[in-house]
Structure 1
Amino acid sequence: MKALAAVAPNKIGLIEQPEPIAARDSVVVAVAGCGVCGSDLPIYRGIQRVEEVGFFGHEFSGTIVSVGENVRDLCVGDRVASGLIRTCGHCEKCFAGHPNYCPDMKATLSPGGFAQFTRVLENSDFGFLTKIPDHVSWEQATLHEPLSCAIRIVEQAQVKLGDRVVVLGLGALGLLSALLAQKSGASMVAGVDIQPGRLALAAQLGIPAIDRTNFDIVIETTGSTSGFIDALSLARLGGRVVIGSVYHQMADGIDLRPIMRKELHVVGAKGPYPHLTAEQKSLAMELIVSGALPLDPLLRLYPIDQAQQAFEDTVAGKVGKAIVCFQEGDQ
């Protein structure tokens, strides 16, 4: 099968790999498409090795083509979208509905979503895939995982009626968080980004550029030192700052005094929703099904032979969500 690999810093190549085989507690998915996430970029840039993560690509949708003997809730032919992909699935935290607190996080898919086929752990006790309703496109379904992350971010933000919210970083995660904040009753939701293309897309979605400070809630999704510093600056006295991104490289000497002086409430939002029961997994899918969020403007599809362009456009902020397509025809 064909799969993507980071063959050099900032260089994506197409390689051949053996097709995965379903183990007893897993399924094999024929990947329709996989979105480029900010957490994929350290691998693309050569900062992080795939072996450190365990997989390459995790925001995917596709069709199940084989099923292990212990799998009960999924069948060959089911269309599915990915959800949480780093947890053990059987510890106390996982069973309690808090898989993001799992003390023994392990990769649950191999080789990952950037391949024509990937194996995914899936058993009767804990599921990592969500079925896609018949009338939902596989393209929109690729947003299931990042939308689940955005749900957790906005839950942690505790948006109330009339709150003024600003989102730092207007990639797909930031845009989805902003759209959800609007739906949660915020009186205004503004955005910050250094990429003109992202600002233009945000404006198209009703998220204007920032023109003030003293926000009730600041959502930080850039994963950058400057973004973190700006978040502390933009929050009002007693405001709330939600950290919704991974910081791979933070600078030394960050001034944390604003947290104390402004009595800020700084909270994290880790991954695609810690209460990831079957019911909670469906929350993101129900939002997709409802059509309540304008998702199509975020999406841009790239054939597998244009994967390099998908990563370059993501880095340059030219797209909301770049999706690399792996299968021909409808999924």
Structure 2
Amino acid sequence: MKAVSFAAPGGPEVLEYLDLPDPVPSPTQVVVAVRACGVCGHDSADRAGLTRVPLPAVLGHEIAGEVVAVGAGVRRFTVGDRVACKQFTTCTHCPACRSGDELTCPDKAFVYGGGAEYVALGQDALLAVPEHVAFADAAITSCTVGTCLQALDDVAAVRAGETVVVTGAGGGLGLHALQVAAALGARVVAVTSSPAKAPLLSAHGADDVVVTGSDLAARLTDLTGGTGPQVVLDNVGHPDVFNGCFRALAHRGRYVFTGQLQREKVSLYPAFVFGKEAVITGSSSTHASTFARAMDLVATGGVRPVHETFPLADAVAAHRAVDGRRVAGRAVLVP
């Protein structure tokens, strides 16, 4: 099979389009013919050596395709099924997995291998894809829509009528977070560093757009009639963005981190936290139950996945576009 692999960390140029053996499923795996595989910031970090990945490696965890072979112990899927995967596999039988909190499973393992024509995946990571949902949409559903849904609904407990601020709103998570927040009934404020992205953000759920560089706290406070937003979903994790957004946060507001673009620390006085009775927390991934709800949102049109497609053979170009922030939403590789 054709695949995109790398043997040493570096820039996009380290990726090689080459031939690798076809995968063989273990008893609990299925082999999926990949029809689409997203490229996200985690892939860039893996490729650049910012994380520990056994090398050589085939990246890709945002995967959708068709089942072409099943292991002897697989009961949930058969050949021909349309499937997509979430970011992790787990053991399925420990107390955490049985309780539905599988992200704390001690055997949790990140998914790799989607940047190829075929990949073997654990059945527990897979979800059936409705016939009318495009593979490119399904591929990025867990990592973009699911991550945002978990952060906003499960962690921040957004209520209809609240104001939600989304930072890094023009990125792969941000464009989907806007839509998820709107689907939850929130008023949505997009924060971006690019004035040119304002029409795109408005088209994907933003009621207001605020460009960084001005007095961010004052702008957010003014937009909310002096009360401040009840929820901030921070995909950037930079002190300049955090300082303005947290200052504006409403009393008893919830500040949820979902990303960090640079190795910069944020700091604050504890008095600001207890004075607001604020909650500062994080959300990192997608439960299987959240993945299913996210797929329902996509299937019913509540969220429209945003992506640009590249042939698998052009993975270097896709990674360069992602690194240069030239992609609206997600880059998706298509074998």
**Contact 1:88–1:106 (8 Å) recurs in 2:** no
**TM-score normalised per structure 1:** 0.85
* Superposition deviation, residue 54 in structure 1: 7.8
3-state SS in 2 of match to 1:114: coil
Question: Aligned equivalents of 1:104 and 1:229: distance in 2?
Answer: 37
Equivalent AA in structure 1 for residue 85 of structure 2 = S
- Which 5+ residue runs of structure 2 have no aligned equivalent? 211-218, 222-227
Aligned partner of 1:151 in structure 2 is: 149
**Contact 2:64–2:138 (8 Å) recurs in 1:** yes
- Among 121, 134, 138, which residue is 1:137 paired with? 134
- Which 5+ residue runs of structure 1 have no aligned equivalent? 327-331
Aligned partner of 2:192 in structure 1 is: 193
- Among 13, 17, 36, which residue is 1:14 paired with? 17
Sort the Cα spacing of 1:173 and 1:317 in 2 relative to 1 into closer, same or farther, 3 A: same
**Contact 1:195–1:316 (8 Å) recurs in 2:** no
Deviation sequence 1:215-239 (CA, Å, 0-9, x none): 2110011244544444423312322
Aligned partner of 1:317 in structure 2 is: 325
The 4+ residue runs of structure 1 with deviation greater than 3 A are: 52-55, 195-200, 223-231, 247-253
Aligned partner of 2:184 in structure 1 is: 184
Question: Aligned equivalents of 1:233 and 1:24: distance in 2?
Answer: 53
Sort the Cα spacing of 1:249 and 1:52 in 2 relative to 1 into closer, same or farther, 3 A: farther
Aligned partner of 1:118 in structure 2 is: 119
* Superposition deviation, residue 91 in structure 1: 1.2
Question: Aligned equivalents of 1:15 and 1:256: distance in 2?
Answer: 52
**Contact 1:216–1:240 (8 Å) recurs in 2:** yes
Aligned partner of 2:213 in structure 1 is: none
**TM-score normalised per structure 2:** 0.84
Structure 1 position 284 matched with structure 2 position 284: no
Q: Which moved more, 1:98-107 or 1:112-121?
A: 98-107
Equivalent AA in structure 2 for residue 322 of structure 1 = A
3-state SS in 2 of match to 1:212: helix
* Superposition deviation, residue 138 in structure 1: 0.8
Aligned partner of 1:205 in structure 2 is: 204
3-state SS in 2 of match to 1:24: coil
Structure 1 position 90 matched with structure 2 position 90: no
Equivalent AA in structure 2 for residue 194 of structure 1 = S
Equivalent AA in structure 1 for residue 286 of structure 2 = P
**Contact 2:88–2:108 (8 Å) recurs in 1:** no
Correspondence 1:94-105 to 2 at 5 A: 94-105=97-108
Sort the Cα spacing of 1:100 and 1:137 in 2 relative to 1 into closer, same or farther, 3 A: same
3-state SS in 2 of match to 1:181: helix
Deviation sequence 1:150-187 (CA, Å, 0-9, x none): 1101112222232111101122222222211112222x
Equivalent AA in structure 1 for residue 292 of structure 2 = S
Equivalent AA in structure 1 for residue 314 of structure 2 = Q
Question: Aligned equivalents of 1:238 and 1:174: distance in 2?
Answer: 23
Sort the Cα spacing of 1:23 and 1:104 in 2 relative to 1 into closer, same or farther, 3 A: closer
Question: Aligned equivalents of 2:145 and 2:23: distance in 1?
Answer: 28
Question: Aligned equivalents of 2:60 and 2:102: distance in 1?
Answer: 20
Structure 1 position 262 matched with structure 2 position 276: yes
3-state SS in 2 of match to 1:74: coil
Q: How many residues align?
A: 312
Question: Aligned equivalents of 1:270 and 1:115: distance in 2?
Answer: 26
* Superposition deviation, residue 42 in structure 1: 0.8
Equivalent AA in structure 2 for residue 184 of structure 1 = L
